[in-house]
């Protein structure tokens, strides 16, 4: 698996913005990726030092369209905490 296949997109929410000041970033990642793969992907893509990675598997929500119903896809979120001596991720600097 390549680094860009593991990291799908950043999560840009109010809770995500609150963590930028403390070097904590949230990403949607591949469902089959583990914490070690996520850490290596973040370090190679952004050139930073990762201190810890926490993951959350989010189940899909039930959605209805008329009389048909189904679930949205499951997804996995990774909360990445950078090391104290690491630089910040430039993408998020413009948002804060």
Q: Is the pLDDT of residue 95 over 80?
A: no
pLDDT in tens, 30-70: 999 999 999 999 999 999 999 999 999 999 999 999 999 99
pLDDT of residue 90: 86
Helix (H) or strand (E) holding 16: helix 14-18
Residues 51 and 24: beta-carbon distance below 8 Å: no
pLDDT of residue 94: 78
Average pLDDT over residues 16-33: 93
Structure tokens at 20: 């930028």
DSSP 73: P
Give the position of tokens 């630089």: 87
Beta bridge partners of 70: 63
Q: Is the pLDDT of residue 96 over 90?
A: no
Structure tokens at 74: 């499951």
């Amino acid at each position: 698996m390549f680094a860009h296949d593991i990291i799908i997109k950043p999560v840009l929410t109010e809770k995500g913005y609150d963590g930028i000041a403390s070097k904590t970033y949230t990403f949607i990642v591949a469902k089959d990726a583990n914490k070690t793969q996520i850490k290596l992907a973040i370090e190679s893509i952004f050139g930073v030092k990762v201190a810890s990675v926490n993951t959350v598997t989010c189940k899909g929500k039930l959605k209805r369209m008329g009389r048909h119903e189904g679930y949205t896809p499951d997804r996995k979120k990774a909360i990445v905490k950078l090391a104290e001596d690491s630089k910040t991720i430039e993408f998020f600097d413009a948002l804060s």
